[in-house]
Structure 1
Amino acid sequence: MAATVNVPLSNLRAVVIAIVVAFHSALPYLASQPAQPFAFNASPYRWVAFPIIDHERWFGFDLFCAWQDVSLMSLMFLLAGLFTPASLNRKGTPLYLLDRWWRIGLPFLLAAAVLSPLAYYASYCLTAIDASPTAFWEHWRTLPMWPAGPAWFLWQLFLLSAVAATLHALAPRSLTDLGRLAESLKDRPLVFFIGLTALSIVAYVPLTLAFNPWDWASWGPFGFQLSRPLQYILYFFVGYAIGAGGLDRGLLRCDGQLADRWWAWLAAAVASFALWGVLTSLTVQGWDASPFAYRLAAALAYPLACASGVLCMLALCLALLRSQHRMLDSLSRNAYPIYLLHYVFVVWLQYALLTTSFDAIGKAAIVFACALALSWTASRGFTAFNPLHLSLPGRRAMADQPR
């Protein structure tokens, strides 16, 4: 008997990958960007996050990208953790770890080694005197790190998967207790939200005050945001707890209170994001130069905005995306290869549009539509001839969960 896919969460996966592509498509057109592109060889190497700088700008993209930066990656870690218990229970620890290596570890290395330099070559061409591939490679090899682009998510996910597998083997009761705790909150999403926000404050605020909200550290291709490692660990294991408790009887039931009050979570997400935006704007003169009270207020606002944003996305999909759609189902099936491939298309399309007469909205729309279509098409072709049988992490586990 074929496994039943959890339709709302499958649709959420499709929505998330579309948002990822849209987020990267809009980055050159932020009103907050400097007038000139970042120099390739100059610290702090901001081109890693903003490979292309365009003269066309629209402030609406600043709001969109800021909102996604607050909650999108935490949601992705939560979704990854959500389906981990089913995979571990089905495969056992050794087979699960081997599967994670083939599906996450090796693709990360391939993406960092091949796709990342291919994408960033376009950024190098913006400021290079000699834009030849040979000159680019010489400059690339002298960098103090090896930028992996969006693939940074994969090495962290692989590490967290390994930790979950180790706990599953050595301390299974601890994970079972997490599942029971999550199940006990199934009809109390507000209590869940308060607890998640409180834990996030502990995980995020001290690191943010010690460093700042934006900076990254890298060792070779292994990059991480200094303020958020504990935040992502938290959301992964919160997702694990929900998945261990059972989607059919937990917080993410389609007939649960989270889904029923999606409108309230949407209002909370908008309000908390606005609060975070206002408080963060008080540090616009520079994080370290801002008064401690401003930095503390902005840091405290982030966990609130993140938790409400994540629960808002979950509630919206549980309430409004309960039906299967051919396009969403295809996008969900191909989401992982799209994640791996889209950045090359995005950056080179942005580079190609630099001298065109379109405004910021037009350019971003073209980049988004073309990059999504090209990476989607490439993904389908890649899947047809895929020797590693790569699929989106958690996709099979999702199929094991009842609706």
Structure 2
Amino acid sequence: MTQPVNQPAAPPTTSPRLLYVDNLRTALMALVVIHHSAIGYSTIPKWYYTEPPADPSGTLLDVMLVFNQAFFMGAFFLISGLFVPGSYDRKGAAPFLRERLLRLGVPLLLWLLVIRPLATFGRYAAAVDAAARQGTELPYWTYYLLSFTPGPMWFVEVLFVFSALYVLWRRLAVGDRRASASAPATGRAPGAVAIAGFAIGLALATYLWRIVVPMGDSVLGLPTPAYLPQYAALFAVGLIAARRGWLEDLSRTAGRAGFATAAVAAVGLVLVLASSGEAILGHGTLPSLVAATCETALAVGIVLGLLVLFRERLGHQGRRRRFLSTHAFTVYVIHPAVLVALGYALRDVQAPAVAKFALLTAIGLPLCWATAYLVRALPGARQVL
């Protein structure tokens, strides 16, 4: 996001910029905005502005959210991993970590000090009214601390931890040696058996993890800790793929097979959702195993398919795509405030949940990028956004 959602450093100057990866993360960033637009009108009230749906179309939004959650943040972590080895090779351990802290930490502070208060203003006003009816006062600092979460910026927190662990691994296991060549090697991508084995292993790890951390739980402010095995595994895949040049060797057949697998997995996920209810959340149940398997197959399949699709069809950037890519990370930081403001502006519109979601998305997407453009025009903003 021009730096992506994760603000990774640019690829080595001796290798061509992966424009299709830029374009893919821009598309994923748009999906983040769409995802959070949908939450407000779904039956999953985990957003800063919500309208409980009064019609069955809210269930359609729930299904879309489940599909998105199964893969899109994992895809961001994989893309993040692609840029880490080259950045470390050029900078070394300490400069790399300082750059990570600057590019991730400053936006996090911006979120905590500016964006979060804007996004939670409506909820604070409602909390003040509730406290007044009980004859008490609620200072903002008390509300801020008691309701604290990192919001969407949990991603940069986890990404920094993953990056720090990579530095630790390089120093301990590799002896802090830098790569002899800045360009990644060209290697053969894993075949169908290796990819299937990876997916099976990840599904099992996810199932076991959810015995302890079931879906719906929040840990240290992370909204989706049940997906941490996927995030860590795909980040590691990105690291290895960058070193071995896997992306360029992925065949079109692999991409088509990935999409086909994702489609079958999506059907399976719908069936287990409809038949098992809360049993899919974890705790070692059989439906949880089935759900973890379907989610993993969907994630691996669709990420594989998207990488091939964007490489083959969307590997170029004109003026418009370059603008979208340049401002995408800023969109990630500021979009909650934009969507919440629009939600309040549209609250008197009477329409089915799906229609209001579509209206919010149609207005919100261009407005998020326009706002990001204005934010990045502020002095010094382009150094960290």
TM-score under structure 2 normalisation?
A: 0.83
Structure 1 runs, 4 residues or longer, greater than 6 Å off: 173-177, 182-185, 288-291
Asked if 2 retains the 8 angstrom alpha-carbon contact of 1:262 and 1:319, the reply is: no
Change in 2 beyond 3 A, CA 1:259/1:304: same
Partners of 2:158 and 2:267 lie apart in 1 by 29
Residue 386 of structure 1, CA deviation: 4.2
SS at match of 2:226: coil
From 30, 39, 43, give the equivalent of 1:27.
Answer: 39
Change in 2 beyond 3 A, CA 1:391/1:195: farther
> Per-residue CA shift, 1:337-385, capped at 9, x if unaligned?
1100011111221222122124334322332233322321222233233
Change in 2 beyond 3 A, CA 1:56/1:173: farther
Q: Which residue of 2 aligns with 1:88?
A: 88
Answer yes or no: is 1:109 the counterpart of 2:109.
yes
Of 159-168 and 185-194, more deviation after overlay is shown by 185-194
Stretches of structure 1 that go unaligned for 5 or more consecutive residues are 34-46, 393-403
CA RMSD of aligned residues (A): 3.2
Partners of 2:322 and 2:131 lie apart in 1 by 41
Asked if 2 retains the 8 angstrom alpha-carbon contact of 1:26 and 1:61, the reply is: yes
Residue 146 of structure 1, CA deviation: 1.0
Residue 196 of structure 1, CA deviation: 2.5
* Count of matched residue positions in the alignment of Structure 1 and Structure 2: 363
Partners of 1:28 and 1:341 lie apart in 2 by 17
From 23, 29, 33, give the equivalent of 1:17.
Answer: 29
Change in 2 beyond 3 A, CA 1:266/1:52: same
Q: Which residue of 1 aligns with 2:327?
A: 334
Asked if 2 retains the 8 angstrom alpha-carbon contact of 1:252 and 1:259, the reply is: no
Partners of 2:283 and 2:223 lie apart in 1 by 24
Q: Which residue of 2 aligns with 1:364?
A: 357
Answer yes or no: is 1:71 the counterpart of 2:66.
no
Answer yes or no: is 1:251 the counterpart of 2:246.
yes
From 140, 152, 157, give the equivalent of 1:137.
Answer: 140
SS at match of 1:228: helix
From 240, 259, 281, give the equivalent of 1:266.
Answer: 259
Residue 136 of structure 1, CA deviation: 6.8
Residue 2 of structure 1, CA deviation: 9.2
Partners of 2:229 and 2:365 lie apart in 1 by 31
Q: Which amino acid aligns with 1:55?
A: P
Answer yes or no: is 1:157 the counterpart of 2:150.
no
> Per-residue CA shift, 1:320-346, capped at 9, x if unaligned?
212323222211111111100011111
Q: Which residue of 2 aligns with 1:230?
A: 229
SS at match of 1:283: helix
Partners of 2:94 and 2:164 lie apart in 1 by 10
> Per-residue CA shift, 1:263-289, capped at 9, x if unaligned?
332221111122122223333155579
Q: Which residue of 2 aligns with 1:395?
A: none
TM-score under structure 1 normalisation?
A: 0.79
Of 145-154 and 113-122, more deviation after overlay is shown by 113-122
Q: Which residue of 1 aligns with 2:174?
A: 172
Asked if 2 retains the 8 angstrom alpha-carbon contact of 1:216 and 1:226, the reply is: yes
Residue 65 of structure 1, CA deviation: 1.5
Residue 78 of structure 1, CA deviation: 0.7
Change in 2 beyond 3 A, CA 1:257/1:322: same
Partners of 1:131 and 1:95 lie apart in 2 by 48
Q: Which residue of 2 aligns with 1:44?
A: none
Change in 2 beyond 3 A, CA 1:285/1:194: closer
SS at match of 1:216: coil
Answer yes or no: is 1:299 the counterpart of 2:292.
yes
Residue 189 of structure 1, CA deviation: 4.1
Partners of 1:176 and 1:203 lie apart in 2 by 32
Asked if 2 retains the 8 angstrom alpha-carbon contact of 1:204 and 1:230, the reply is: yes
Asked if 1 retains the 8 angstrom alpha-carbon contact of 2:272 and 2:280, the reply is: no
Residue 239 of structure 1, CA deviation: 0.7
Stretches of structure 2 that go unaligned for 5 or more consecutive residues are 1-12
Q: Which residue of 1 aligns with 2:7?
A: none
Asked if 2 retains the 8 angstrom alpha-carbon contact of 1:350 and 1:367, the reply is: yes
